[in-house]
Copies of this chain bind each other. A is one copy, B any other.
Amino acid sequence: MLDRTDVQILSLLQNNAKLTIKELAEAMHLTTSPIFERIKKLEKEGVIDGYVALVNAEKAGKGQIVFCNISMPVYTTENIESFETLVRTMPQVMECYHLAGVVDYQLKVCVKDIKEYDAFLKELAKIQIIKIHSSTVVLHDVKYSTVIPLD
């Protein structure tokens, strides 16, 4: 599905979306046209999901990450839907995964400080269908990358 050239394009664009088609073409010893067409194809197929600017959370005053572990005592389709829909609308929740573990969900929450996290928890606690199991504060970020490893 993805040949060597596609993977090469993706690897470069995952690190720097501002590379021009010309630069990509030079890097892989081709002309601009095939690069252009391949990128359009990858976008159309949804392999490339989009292009985003990454903001430094610290400098934007949102340097605190907290993981929130949640379980759902009554595990019905309805409850799942309403919880997942809510989570997707909360901007503080950057990531949410349904786990195969002792707790059902893990949320990665991005806030200014613990005080703001406290407010977030109070907001979340309004939903009666979930049980907030525990919260784990992040001391510091060791690594944050958006790059999907491609073989």
* Cβ-closest chain B residue relative to A134: B101
Interface residues of A (CB under 8 A from B): 1-2, 10, 13-18, 45-57, 59-62, 65, 67, 84, 87-88, 91-101, 105-106, 110, 136-151
Stoichiometry, as copies per complex, reads 2
Across the interface, A88 reaches (CB within 8 A) one of B60, B98, B142, B151, namely B142
Could you say which of A52, A150, A151 has the most chain B C-beta atoms within 10 Å of its C-beta? Answer: A52
Given A17-B17, A55-B14, A142-B98, does the pair A150, B47 have CB atoms closer than 8 Å? no
Complex contact A54–B150 (CB within 8 A)? no
Complex contact B17–A51 (CB within 8 A)? yes
Complex contact B54–A53 (CB within 8 A)? no
Across the interface, A60 reaches (CB within 8 A) one of B47, B65, B139, namely B47
Q: Which chain B residues border A106 with CB–CB below 8 Å?
A: 67, 136
Q: Which chain B residues border A45 with CB–CB below 8 Å?
A: 59
Across the interface, A146 reaches (CB within 8 A) one of B61, B92, B93, B94, namely B94
Tell me how far the C-beta of A96 lies from the nearest C-beta in chain B, rounded to whole angstroms.
4
Tell me how far the C-beta of A117 lies from the nearest C-beta in chain B, rounded to whole angstroms.
12
Complex contact A47–B67 (CB within 8 A)? no
Given A87-B143, A110-B148, does the pair A55, B60 have CB atoms closer than 8 Å? no
Complex contact A95–B52 (CB within 8 A)? no
Across the interface, A10 reaches (CB within 8 A) one of B17, B55, B142, namely B55
